[in-house]
Structure 1
């Protein structure tokens, strides 16, 4: 049983991420945790005690959150109704990122799937502020961000962006490998350079180890020149090679960190229409989830009702 966390603000983008998740795991037994957080604005007035006003606003926000989740469950059952899938809802008076981190631990989440921007997100920006915060703070499982207009397509072409400056461990590459094996996908390792030049000895070693880890799946190495920004370069690469999923490891000085630190002006150019899989830095110790079943394997697990 896979545990998938689906944060939602009931926006169109969030619904599209839910649909993608259900399609991605349509052949697997999963428990989906639909989560909505609310933090009502507490209005202060000399005519209203702050505590009383706060309780009223919180009750209204809670009611709206619970109603939204109930409607979401109803829509899912109407449009999908997959007997392999179970759904739980979680409405919480909390900050989004804090609640996600807690839920990952409490419910042993294997994967977080979210939209790339929320209800108030600007259309010109691929990753909204909430998505960036989730990517930066979730350290114990991968995060999959789904663009608004992306309709599900089996990820049989996966790009893995890396600069070969860091040694990747097997535990860190496992989500990528599991995805590739599950969908018989080709992995295209893409290396973005400011100027095309020969690899250093360290880069050569890391590349050789990476290829050993990927020996069970078809893979190719592509070196490309940077176009304005890393995000823009990866967008063009993905478009030209008809990539269905872009994967990156998130660690200090990684491509993913560069993108999340880019200015809003540069991020406005990042209009990629494919899902982004962000894998957290696990190091040699690996993740506690590796002691359980991984996201794309076919193992059973007790269900808690």
Structure 2
């Protein structure tokens, strides 16, 4: 498994997901791609909803923190484990973004966390017309989060 995509939903779950990715990457001399799908950029037309300015400012600040967090994760993986890692912060629909990145980066394994009522869990297990797991055409490691 040369290319491993780790989908980080919440910062509190990152350590557990990254540990799994590091395990697989060390076995295969692979590369880790850390992805976080953020809310729309408040500077874009899509992100502009009616509301006070402080809401736009807060979204922009949150996006900067999220970008710094996953970038720091990637740097720590490279420094501490000598494994190549990159961070990706994107905006959009989670399932669509994951599918796109799996194709774009030739991903061999997707690692995501799940809770019983977690969004990512529902994303991978819901009875949609097209099941994301089938569309990925790559293994998915669903890490239980408590």
Per the normalisation by structure 2, the TM-score is 0.73
The structure with higher relative contact order (CA 8 Å, sep 6+) is 2
Q: 1:148 maps to which residue?
A: 145
Shift of 1:21: 2.0
Q: 1:63 maps to which residue?
A: 64
Shift of 1:3: 0.8
1: distance between equivalents of 2:21 and 2:75?
17
Q: 2:107 maps to which residue?
A: 109
* Correspondences of 1:72-221 after superposition (within 5 Å): 72-77=73-78, 81-83=80-82, 85-117=83-115, 125=116, 128-135=118-125, 136-138=131-133, 139=135, 140-148=137-145
Alpha-carbon contact 2:32-2:84 (below 8 Å) kept: yes
Alpha-carbon contact 1:62-1:93 (below 8 Å) kept: no
Shift of 1:97: 1.5
Q: 1:6 maps to which residue?
A: 6
State how many pairs are aligned: 133
Alpha-carbon contact 1:36-1:69 (below 8 Å) kept: yes
Q: Alpha carbon RMSD of aligned pairs, Å?
A: 2.8
SS at match of 1:146: strand
Higher helix share: 2
Per the normalisation by structure 1, the TM-score is 0.38
SS at match of 1:26: helix
| CA offset digits 1:9-58 (Å, max 9, x no partner) | 3433332121012123323211110001111575523x65xxxx75x455
SS at match of 1:25: helix
Q: Which protein shows a greater Rg?
A: 1
1: distance between equivalents of 2:14 and 2:121?
11
1: distance between equivalents of 2:24 and 2:91?
30
Gaps of 5+ in 2: 41-46, 126-130
1: distance between equivalents of 2:49 and 2:65?
18
Shift of 1:62: 2.6
